Amino acid sequence: MSKISVSIAGGSGYTGGELLRLLLFHPHVKIKQVTSEKYAGKPVFKIHPNLRTITSLRFSTIEELKDCDCLFLALSHGRSLHKIDFFCGLAPKLIDLSSDFRLLTTEQYRRWYGINHPRPELLTQFVYGIPEIHRQEIKSATRVACAGCNATAALLGLYPLYQTPLCHPAKTIVEVKAGSSQSGRSPSPGSHHPERNGCYRVYQPTGHRHIGEILQELSLLWDSSFHFTATSVEMVRGIQAVSHVFLSEPATEKDIWKTYRQFYGSEPFIRIVKDNSGLYRLPEPKILSGTNFCDIGFSKDPLSDHLVVVSALDNLMKGAAGQAVQNFNIMNGLPEKTALNFPGLHPI
Amino acid sequence: MSKISVSIAGGSGYTGGELLRLLLFHPHVKIKQVTSEKYAGKPVFKIHPNLRTITSLRFSTIEELKDCDCLFLALSHGRSLHKIDFFCGLAPKLIDLSSDFRLLTTEQYRRWYGINHPRPELLTQFVYGIPEIHRQEIKSATRVACAGCNATAALLGLYPLYQTPLCHPAKTIVEVKAGSSQSGRSPSPGSHHPERNGCYRVYQPTGHRHIGEILQELSLLWDSSFHFTATSVEMVRGIQAVSHVFLSEPATEKDIWKTYRQFYGSEPFIRIVKDNSGLYRLPEPKILSGTNFCDIGFSKDPLSDHLVVVSALDNLMKGAAGQAVQNFNIMNGLPEKTALNFPGLHPI
Amino acid sequence: MSKISVSIAGGSGYTGGELLRLLLFHPHVKIKQVTSEKYAGKPVFKIHPNLRTITSLRFSTIEELKDCDCLFLALSHGRSLHKIDFFCGLAPKLIDLSSDFRLLTTEQYRRWYGINHPRPELLTQFVYGIPEIHRQEIKSATRVACAGCNATAALLGLYPLYQTPLCHPAKTIVEVKAGSSQSGRSPSPGSHHPERNGCYRVYQPTGHRHIGEILQELSLLWDSSFHFTATSVEMVRGIQAVSHVFLSEPATEKDIWKTYRQFYGSEPFIRIVKDNSGLYRLPEPKILSGTNFCDIGFSKDPLSDHLVVVSALDNLMKGAAGQAVQNFNIMNGLPEKTALNFPGLHPI
Amino acid sequence: MSKISVSIAGGSGYTGGELLRLLLFHPHVKIKQVTSEKYAGKPVFKIHPNLRTITSLRFSTIEELKDCDCLFLALSHGRSLHKIDFFCGLAPKLIDLSSDFRLLTTEQYRRWYGINHPRPELLTQFVYGIPEIHRQEIKSATRVACAGCNATAALLGLYPLYQTPLCHPAKTIVEVKAGSSQSGRSPSPGSHHPERNGCYRVYQPTGHRHIGEILQELSLLWDSSFHFTATSVEMVRGIQAVSHVFLSEPATEKDIWKTYRQFYGSEPFIRIVKDNSGLYRLPEPKILSGTNFCDIGFSKDPLSDHLVVVSALDNLMKGAAGQAVQNFNIMNGLPEKTALNFPGLHPI
């Protein structure tokens, strides 16, 4: 099988670096170019120190990008949009990791990003890139918009339940704990180690942008009873979403098990984690660092309609670069786990 | 003014050590004895290394305890109960930091602790030790049962709201993030550093024992719509409670401000933390280490009935030893801040 | 006793904030002004969140500074120097926390800072501010230059030994582990949480600037056999210096004990930490957060001339603001521990 | 190629779990059995939560062990020794990860472990398992004793220098910073999170057992000028060794470069890390988590004979299980990087 040539626009950020790491070990991929306007000409390992001796690639500029089979966009939000025609012209397949094409309508962009999306006609051309929800469309898609990391964690925990009558209408509150890599590579007063270290900072009690994509995928209206709070916690990689679902119909834990199993039974990257003994009884992000798993567990209050769903993932992997590679594999008819079989470390 | 003599039963644990630290610097206190069965005879600084050169006290056994003006009980849960008559005989004033006398009825003990409380007649003799709720009773009390640390954090955030019509009936979900010192001084597989470090472990999705005291103080029934989830996080000291309150009446942020100000306006240890700029806009536990503050902030979703309340404290201070000393000051007619004026460190 | 009026030039940094915290609780001090060019007009608690409700002070500009009894300079290195005449005109007593007046000669400034010190005549007017070495001179000094934090940790561990024949000539290698607050309040790529968290970064294998002051105080020449390596470690506050001393004369651990006891026997802030049992057998920085202690311990290799000395302190306290307040107390004839009696927290 | 059958005696510890993780993804290996006396019958993922869904293996007892092609011993120190004849009878190739067969003479075991080694005749049958030093012998070895993790970090940094006249005789001081996983899976007061978190604990100022193997491999006598200090630091995985070498001959940094290049030029797992810019200029353990690299860098004091060598590795990988698999590959004529090509994560 001849290799698939790929390039990465925006290769100096954390998701770009993670993509690079994965693709360098992908047996069917040849990386052509990786861009960084700031570090053009420099070896990529200067920015991604884990890649020292792994690759001799150097950064190019976006302008220098050449044709390839699949182009990954790992640019900051808003920057894919600007040059989207240029990017579309470079490759028949395009996988965007930014938020620029996740929402389907201009109304939603106005509401959640406060912008008038300049290219509304493109929005429906992008498939929302969560394979567990849109695998069939992704198979034949030429353009995929990968989901936000917090949205991925919340959605994977909730989606199966929302396909049942249990959650119509349910009140749901999602609490997301997020690591510092989520905010990217640029230092800021809030990312300064003495301030960020050991912090539990409720940075978005309400109104988080990712709510937009979650409502869209759960087919909920804005005025629904869906609530979402995000807190920065002491962690570099990782997201844990604790979702409090108030079921609209009685259900036992067995019912919930069944719902998840039916939906995720054959999913390669979803694990149901719900044990009665041991230390890791419900999902924890730390053992997922570097993996593409989304672990999902739950606990039903026997005395009320309260269901606690816990989902965890690595925001740079299943929440970004790993998801992108999974989509790449699907779009190219490759086994879905290719280049994504790292099991994670313990202890860590 | 002559000094008040005090002793501490159970002085080798973390709350006992914290009590000792505070009382050693209390201008009106003379510490008579501190007990530890295991370390009897040893200098206390061997167990509490921060007290090296601060005191030459050595541990006694409980049996050796002599009369004093006020006895603090910092024993493990269940152990105060066993010898309560002996303890009551030693001192006219008694402050218990365990869970043995927090609940008012045997029904509650059966429900939340699964035990038949052997001394039901004593339960109503103890005042529940949150000064912001029970100051008047504490002033004349001879026996105080300090509140649980998670319960204190949740209650201080919610109590004022529950005194208004806003929360009748409200649905409330409390998410508590807890540091590792909460589980005490004994090593266990779950406290082993390689396993506990960096962990986000939802250890009690539902059914936490502290719910009992919270319901009691909020005058709620068990089958109410109060929900509580606790997660162990990467932190040694500290609790952050994020409470999601669904208000039963429309309210603006100004209304909420007013409610808190009316209730807590002159409280020495409650700070309302709700800023529009800066890094520390809502309460964070890390800057509260060593202090007796409970910081409280909130954010109202402008588009729904969802109110997010964030409260934070140091579990060993306002959640245990600091609360005990505050109660001691009140019971003895001393200025409430005596020995409790440490402002906390930043950065940390 | 009437209060001593003090002001702080440079109050928005970490050492300025720590000074402020200490002086606000100093019974003989009245804080007049605290400056910050950037935050002039803003309440200090916006920058130092631990001081919320503790003080209503607002930042002034340096230009607005008025006369006071004692002026603290907590400016970035190089900035005290520029306006030194202005500052000297404001107060009869001046305590500088920067590196601008620590070295005694222009040669040393050229060598270690690569600058031609513009005011060489002032250098000998400043007393080097380690009380354990220069207490007598500090008592009558009007100008004190507080020592560098790494230098303080290293010097306090080594100074007594260098007063004996044991260390003439000794080969000494100091390894310093430093927390992130040492680099101050400004974010940088190296202080960005995802990069700084969990890091062990040997940032200065040789040639550290603090070597200059250490050699000066140990009366060593530059070409001596003194070596110093500094590593950034996972910690916000704290320094641990592990010094490897190769003794020039045979000595037992008892001899070393005696040397330290003779020298530090009555020092209020030095503790010898050398236990055979327990967890904290040698000095550790974490239990020193917020304290003015420098803990010192040692271990002698029974089979060689190798002596390991471990010293630890809080870089913002004994290594900066605490040291400054201790000097202030000495200069003003006050008990040395005034405002510095916080014993530190455990666990933390 | 038919698969090589392997078993692991002692599979519930951290090195056993890491071995299992690596071998499960080794293309030429079939894992037959993994033992744990305590967890016999339980699925391995209950103890190694990262292996959930990766394997359905369950623990066996040692007694149940059957023949295999290669047996790994990942038992606690002292336990391989006891049953060594039984183990040798099970497999033609044996790789021991304990300290039981690292030293070559009974004198050394008496000196460093205080034991009379009961099977001195076996000591010379084991090859000391650092491939960079003993690759030729390992190729034909049937028994390999993997090196201690601290010893590996120190030796890989120093060995090439000691093959030159630069270090004869040199004075060398090694400072090792060690993560908490080094002490294994059993909780203890020292590993209790509130005590271990954020600690910098000089647990072995002198006299560390690993000195024995280091001296052996560097061909030094016990009374040499080699010194070694170990400190527990805030880290789960990882070792950083900072070695201070006082060269006996003048040398430039170029000379040192040349020495390392000559020695390690073609080594698959050694990287020389010595940059003038960027954040990761010298080796840091955090980006090595999960990898088999030992990164080595250095800095020469231009004004003295002081050379600082920094080496870093993952104690469970290059310091244990990774080293074991590398040896396994060599012993079986497989490409050395097989199953060991994980590049590590950044950020982390």
**pLDDT tens over chain B, length 348 residues:** 799 999 999 999 999 999 999 999 999 999 999 999 999 999 999 999 999 999 999 999 999 999 999 999 999 989 999 999 999 999 999 999 999 999 999 999 999 999 999 999 999 999 999 999 999 999 999 999 999 999 999 999 999 999 999 988 789 999 999 999 999 999 999 999 999 999 999 999 999 999 999 999 999 977 778 999 999 999 999 999 999 999 999 999 999 999 999 999 999 999 999 999 999 999 999 999 999 999 999 999 998 999 999 999 999 999 999 999 999 999 999 999 999 999 999 999
The answer to whether the peptide bond before residue B335 is cis (omega within 30 degrees of 0) is: no
- Best residue in C197, C206, C273, C275 for a mutation probing chain D (most D CBs within 10 Å): C206
Q: What is the mean pLDDT of residues A235-255?
A: 97
Q: What is the rounded end-to-end Cα distance, in angstroms, of chain C?
A: 37
pLDDT digits (tens, 9 = 90+) for D190-201: 999 999 999 999
Per-residue b/e over D44-69, b at no fewer than 16 CB within 10 Å? bbbbbbbbbebbebbbbebeebeebb
Task: Say yes or no for a CB contact (<8 Å) between B193 and D236.
Answer: yes
Cβ C94 vs Cβ C145: under 8 Å: no
**Can the peptide bond before residue D49 be classed as cis, meaning omega within 30 degrees of 0?**
no
* Chains touching B by CB (3 or more pairs below 8 Å): A, C, D
Q: Which of residues 280-339 of D touch A (CB under 8 A)?
A: 280, 284, 287, 289-291
Of all residues in chain A, the percent with pLDDT exceeding 90 is 96
d(CA B9, CA B7): 7
d(CA C170, CA D161): 24
Chain D: partners with 3+ C-beta pairs within 8 Å? A, B, C
pLDDT tens figures, D62-88? 999 999 999 999 999 899 999 999 999
Pairing state between β A270-272 and D226-232: unpaired
Segments in D199-269 forming alpha helices (H): 210-218, 253-264
Structural contact between residues A167 and A247, judged by C-beta atoms closer than 8 angstroms: yes
- Stated length of chain D: 348
CB-side neighbour CA atoms (13 Å) of C189: 7
Q: Are the beta carbons of A227 and B286 separated by less than 8 Å?
A: no
What residue spans define the domains of chain A?
Answer: 4-147+320-331, 150-313
Question: Which residue among A173, A238, A301 places its CB closest to the CB of B206?
Answer: A301
Residue A184 corresponds to which amino acid? G
Contact C137, C332 (CB under 8 A): no
The Cα–Cα gap between B23 and B8 comes to 10
User: Is C68 a known active-site residue?
Assistant: no
Q: Name the residue among C207, C227, C280 with its Cβ closest to that of D244.
A: C227
| Residue of B70, B146, B149, B294 with catalytic role | B149
Stretches in chain D below the pLDDT threshold 50: none
HEC-encoded secondary structure of B106-117 = HHHHHHHHCCCC
DSSP-H helix ranges across chain A: 14-24, 79-82, 84-90, 106-113, 120-123, 131-140, 149-162, 193-196, 210-218, 253-264, 322-331
Burial (0-12, 13-18, 19+ Cβ within 10 Å), C35: buried
Q: 235-254 in B: which are within 8 Å (CB) of D?
A: 236
The CB-side HSE value for D245 (13 A sphere, CA atoms) comes to 31
> Are B141 and B127 a contacting pair, CB within 8 Å?
yes
Distance, in Å, from the CA atom of D125 to the CA atom of D134, rounded to the nearest integer, reads: 14
Structure-token pair, residue D32:
């037959």
Instruction: For an interface test with B, give the residue of A202, A243, A274 to mutate (most B CBs within 10 A).
Output: A202
Which residues neighbour C64 within 8 Å (Cβ) at sequence distance 6 or greater?
C33, C35, C40
Are C326 and C131 in contact, with CB atoms under 8 Å apart?
A: yes
Q: What is the largest CA-CA distance in chain C?
A: 62
Hey, is C152 helix, strand or coil? helix
Give per-residue pLDDT as tens, A191-229.
999 999 999 999 999 999 999 999 999 999 777 789 999
Position C222 pLDDT exceeds 80: no
Give the whole-angstrom CA distance, residue A145 versus residue A95. 6
Say if residues C29 and C2 touch (Cβ distance below 8 Å): no
DSSP 8-state secondary structure symbol assigned to residue B205: S
Determine the residue type at B154.
A
Token pair for residue A206?
Answer: 């309400």
Q: How would CATH label the architecture of D150-313?
A: 2-Layer Sandwich (3.30)
pLDDT band for position A168 (cuts 50, 70, 90): confident
- Distance (Å, whole) CA C324 – CA C71: 11
pLDDT, tens digit, 9 for 90 and up, residues A297-313:
999 999 899 999 999 99
Residues paired with D311 in a beta bridge? D241, D296
A window 156-215, beta carbon within 8 A of B: 171, 173, 175, 177, 189-190, 194-195, 197-202, 205-207
Q: How far is D187 from chain B (nearest CA, A)?
A: 5
Cβ atoms of C312 and C284 within 8 Å: the answer is: yes
* Residue ranges in chain B assigned as alpha helix (H): 14-24, 79-82, 84-90, 106-113, 120-123, 131-140, 149-162, 193-196, 210-217, 253-264, 322-331
**Alpha helices, H only, chain C:** 14-24, 79-82, 84-90, 106-113, 120-123, 131-140, 149-162, 193-196, 210-218, 253-264, 322-331
A-D CB pairs within 8 A amount to 80
CA distance B233 to chain D (A): 11
Among D33, D2, D13, D28, residue whose Cα is nearest residue D325:
D28
Measured CA to CA, the distance from residue A42 to residue D203 in angstroms comes to 42
Min Cα separation D14/chain A (Å): 7
Sheet holding A226-232, edge to edge: A201-204, A226-232, A171-178, A239-246, A306-313, A294-300, A270-272
Residue bearing tokens 């269901």: A307
Q: Which residues of A171-203 are buried (b: 16+ CB within 10 A; e: fewer)?
A: bbbbbbbbbbbbbbbebeebbbbbbbbbbbbbb
Most A CBs within 10 A among B181, B202, B303, hence the mutation to make, goes to B202
Facing residues of D235 across strands?
none
Of B177, B242, B246, the CB nearest to A229: B242
Nearest CA in chain C to B275: C46
- Name residue, tokens 């049937």: D142
D240: closest CA among C192, C202, C176, A48?
Answer: C202
pLDDT at B167: 87
For chain D, state the CA radius of gyration.
Answer: 20
Contact A234 B229 (CB under 8 A): no
Q: Is-contact C145 C81, C-beta < 8 A?
A: no
- Give the Cα separation of B314 and B238 in Å (integer): 4
Residue B239, both tokens: 């609790």
Take residue C10 and report the two structure tokens written for it.
């440079």
Contact between chains at D304 and C225 (C-beta distance less than 8 A): yes
Q: Which residues from D are below 8 Å from A237, CB to CB?
A: 345, 347-348
**Whole-angstrom distance, CA of residue A165 vs CA of residue D265:** 64
Q: Any chain D CB within 8 A of the CB of A343?
A: yes
Instruction: State the catalytic residue, choosing from D149, D167, D199, D294.
Output: D149
Closest-CA residue of chain D to C201: D284
pLDDT of res. B168: 81
- Short-list A30, C321, C197, CA closest to B234: C197
- Nearest neighbour of D200 by CB, restricted to C177, C246, C347: C177
pLDDT at D225: 87
CA distances from C240 to A198, B287, C174, C311 (A): 20, 23, 10, 6
- Do residues A130 and A156 lie in contact, with contact meaning Cβ atoms separated by under 8 Å? yes
Whether D121 and chain C come into contact, CB under 8 Å, resolves to: no
∠ CA B223-B224-B228, nearest 5°, is: 100
Q: How many CB pairs under 8 A join B and D?
A: 51
Return the pLDDT at B274. 98
Q: Structure pTM?
A: 0.97
Contact partners, residue C49, CB within 8 Å, separation at least 6: B278, B279, B280, B284, B287, B346
What is the number of CB-based contacts under 8 A between chain C and chain D? Answer: 128
Cα distance between residue B329 and residue B95, in whole Å: 11
Neighbouring-strand partners of residue A30: A5
Question: Which whole-number Å values give the CA distances from A140 to A121, A204, A275, in the listed order?
Answer: 19, 36, 38
Subunit partners of chain C (3 or more CB pairs within 8 A): A, B, D
C343/B24 touch (CB, cutoff 8 Å), yes or no: yes
Sign for the pseudo-dihedral over CA of A19, A25, A26, A32: positive
Q: What is the ipTM of this complex?
A: 0.96
Nearest CA in chain B to A194: B347
Nearest to C200 among D199, D227, D284 (CB): D284
Instruction: Provide the pairing of β-strand B143-145 with B127-128.
Output: parallel
The sign of the CA dihedral B133, B139, B140, B146 is positive
CATH code given to domain C4-147+320-331: 3.40.50.720
Question: In the predicted model, is pLDDT for residue A169 greater than 90?
Answer: no
